[in-house]
Structure 1
Amino acid sequence: MILTVTLNAALDVTYEVPGVQWGGVNRVRSVHRRAGGKGVNVARVLAALGQEVLVHGFAGGPTGQAIRADLAASGLPEAMAPIAADSRSTLVVAEGSRTTLLNEPGPAVTASEIDEFLRAFDGPARDADVVVLSGSLPPGVPEDFYATLTARASERGARVIVDADGAALRHAAPGSPCVVKPNAEELARAVDLPGDRRLSSLAAGAEALRALGAASVVVSLGEEGLFAATGEGAFRVRLPYRIEGNPTGAGDALVAGLALGLAEGTAWPDTLRRAAALGAAAVAAPVAGDFDRGVYAEVLPKIVIE
């Protein structure tokens, strides 16, 4: 079983529009509302691939009830921990291949709610082969909380992936996760390095996170593929061509591929190839948490690994 943890879960709202006139009146072509947050998106992709998953995190208020109702309707098992504050919503405005994302900060979580979450976390972590810790930390949650969860999951035999930004990512590394998955900008913020995509900069940033305790670092680079620094060496993964569409959720699909590789014990080249193909296929899908199976099948054998 793969356990995904989304501490700052959201009700994701996507507006598809032919174009945006900022300051004017806009007509929305279609609307999608569904439970979201990075870990939820990871769980959707894994479930679509036939994997057993469990969604964990915080959910509160009417928005939290809507999140849990959508998870149930989607057939995604959940063990969301209740909080008093209302969960957040996010808004994606998608106009063709251009997207604008508006993220609410999230609900305030109390110390007692954190303690209850930790007590509830240990059982599922013990049953999990892989634990995925994804996304931002809501107000009230300590910056080193991912390191705490990583240590508790590791003690119970699970392998851990962390997908986070800034301080949450930097503080997660000392917990010794098996994999951390920033994008290039998140990597730069975590280790205070220039935010460019030169191979030397990516390698330096990845090794800085490995020096802090992360076993492997996979850096997503959008249409440029990804870079990975692992105990078995460094890999540069390139996509065969640019995929047009909505990039929201592409990194989450990539993480799903990494989690599947850890769960199955797949060699790094095969794990990275599948992860990159899932990320690309997610761009071709209109909503985060989905992926285009046709694009996935077409791209997978054409990915180049150096």
Structure 2
Amino acid sequence: MITTVTMNAAIDKTYYVPRFPLGKVTRVSGMIADAGGKGINVARVASLLGAQVTASGFAGGSNGRFIESELAKLGIAHDFVHVEGESRLCLNIMDEEAGTSTELLEPGPTVPQEQYEQLKMTVKQLAGRSRVLCFSGSMPAGVPVESYAELVAIARQAGATVLLDASGEALVRGITAAPFMIKPNEDEAAVLLGGPLDAGGSECRQQLARLAAAGIACVIVSLGADGAVALWDNRLYRIRVPRISAVNTVGSGDAFTAGFAVALAEGRAPEECLRLAAAAGSANALQRRAGWIDVSDVRSLAEQIAVEPMSV
């Protein structure tokens, strides 16, 4: 089983508008509402890829009930800790004329210490029966900044292989607990490294090794449309993806994590884990909905993705 933990679950609403001028009334031509938050996107894509998945985290109010009902419709098990207040609403406004995406992200509810302690117990229980456990996304108010480090340690001790997709101080603290995999983007990696990543150059291996120094087996840095680089057990890989006509890239990083989790849970070789991850991430960009894939797109794209060892 794969378990995902979304600390700040959301309802993701995507609005499609012909144009999005500021200060004007704009009529929406199309709207999609889904259960969201990074970990829930991971859960949905992993489920679409055929994995048995349980989604956990915090959920509150009527928005939380909507999130749980949407997961149930898809046959995804859930085990959320319920909190007072409302789970957040996140808006993505797609300007079809300009081809731009504007996101408005609510902060989410404040989580009391009691509910955080309850989540730690839930994570321990779920990790004990999961092959892979993914922590994804931002933390709501009230959750201590070191929470990912605590939760990663709990999940590892219970026997799960842990993936961490976070940013900022949450990632800095989380790294200290040695998750199996982290996946910063270029900007996030630059913050951790104190300077830009030399993605195709002679410094790349040394830079990724610095990020892996805490005992992380696999460090992946996503490069957007240019694919990714990865250091896995001291082997350096360049992942190249085909050019596509992207429709909506929101959720592509989560789909990447889902593909990686599924392949890892199936015991595939590193190259195949990275290939499925990149294929799922690219397939997500072909969908109007965030955190969705067409499995036929994943299969087609996987045949076009190159996972090449790098000697630098």
Q: Please state which band the TM-score falls in when normalised by the shorter chain.
A: over 0.9
Task: Compute the displacement of 1:105 (Å).
Answer: 1.6
**What is the rounded CA distance, in whole Å, between the counterparts of 2:23 and 2:209 in structure 1?**
45
* Residue 253, structure 1, aligned to residue 255, structure 2: yes
Aligned to 1:119: 121
Deviation, structure 1 residue 202: 5.2
Q: Residue 138 of structure 1: SS of its match in structure 2?
A: coil
How many Å separate the matches in 1 of 2:294 and 2:189? 28
Among residues 139, 143, 146, which one is paired with 2:145 in the alignment?
Answer: 143
Question: How much identity, in percent, do the aligned residues show?
Answer: 39
2:79 counterpart SS class: coil
Instruction: Give the structure 1 partner of residue 107 of structure 2.
Output: 105
Which of 283, 290, 293 is 1:291 aligned to?
Answer: 293
* Matched ranges for 1:103-252 at <5 A: 103-194=105-196, 199=201, 203-252=205-254
Aligned counterpart, 1:90: 90
Structure 2 distance, partners of 1:143, 1:213, is 21
2:243 aligned counterpart, secondary structure: coil
**Which has the higher mean CA deviation after the structures are superposed, 193-202 or 258-267?**
193-202
Counterpart check, 1:81 vs 2:81:
yes
Provide the rounded CA distance (Å) in 2 between the counterparts of 1:201 and 1:282. 31
Give the structure with the larger helix fraction: 1
Query: For residue 32 of structure 2, what is the aligned residue in structure 1?
Result: 32
Deviations 1:194-233 (A, max 9, x none): 3775545654542222113322111111110011011040
- Give ranges in structure 2 of 5+ residues lacking alignment: none
Cα deviation digits, residues 208-261 of structure 1 (max 9, x gap): 221133221111111100110110401011112233210000001100111012
Q: What letter corresponds to residue 222 of structure 2 in structure 1?
A: S
Q: Is the 8 A contact 1:6 1:58 kept in 2?
A: yes
CA distance in 1, matches of 2:119, 2:302: 38
**Equivalent residue of 2:213, what SS?**
helix
Number of residues of Structure 1 aligned to a counterpart in Structure 2: 306
- The TM-score, its normalising length taken from structure 1, stands at 0.94
What one-letter code is carried by the residue in structure 1 that aligns with 2:84? Answer: A
Q: Could you say if the C-alpha distance between residues 39 and 89 of structure 1 is closer, same or farther in structure 2, counting changes exceeding 3 Å?
A: same
Q: In structure 2, what is the equivalent of residue 3 of structure 1?
A: 3
Q: Which moved more, 1:29-38 or 1:115-124?
A: 115-124
Q: Gapped runs of 5+ residues in structure 1?
A: none
- Cα-Cα RMSD: 1.7
Write out per-residue CA displacement over residues 14-40 of structure 1, whole angstroms, 9 at most, x where no aligned residue. 101222112212121111111100110
Check whether the contact 1:188–1:205 (CA below 8 A) recurs between aligned residues. no
- The alpha carbon displacement at 1:186 in A equals 1.6
Deviates more, 1:31-40 or 1:199-208: 199-208
Structure 2 SS opposite 1:45 = helix
User: Which one-letter code corresponds to 1:168 in the other structure?
Assistant: A
CA distance in 2, matches of 1:8, 1:251: 17
Aligned position for 1:44: 44
CA distance in 1, matches of 2:235, 2:297: 29
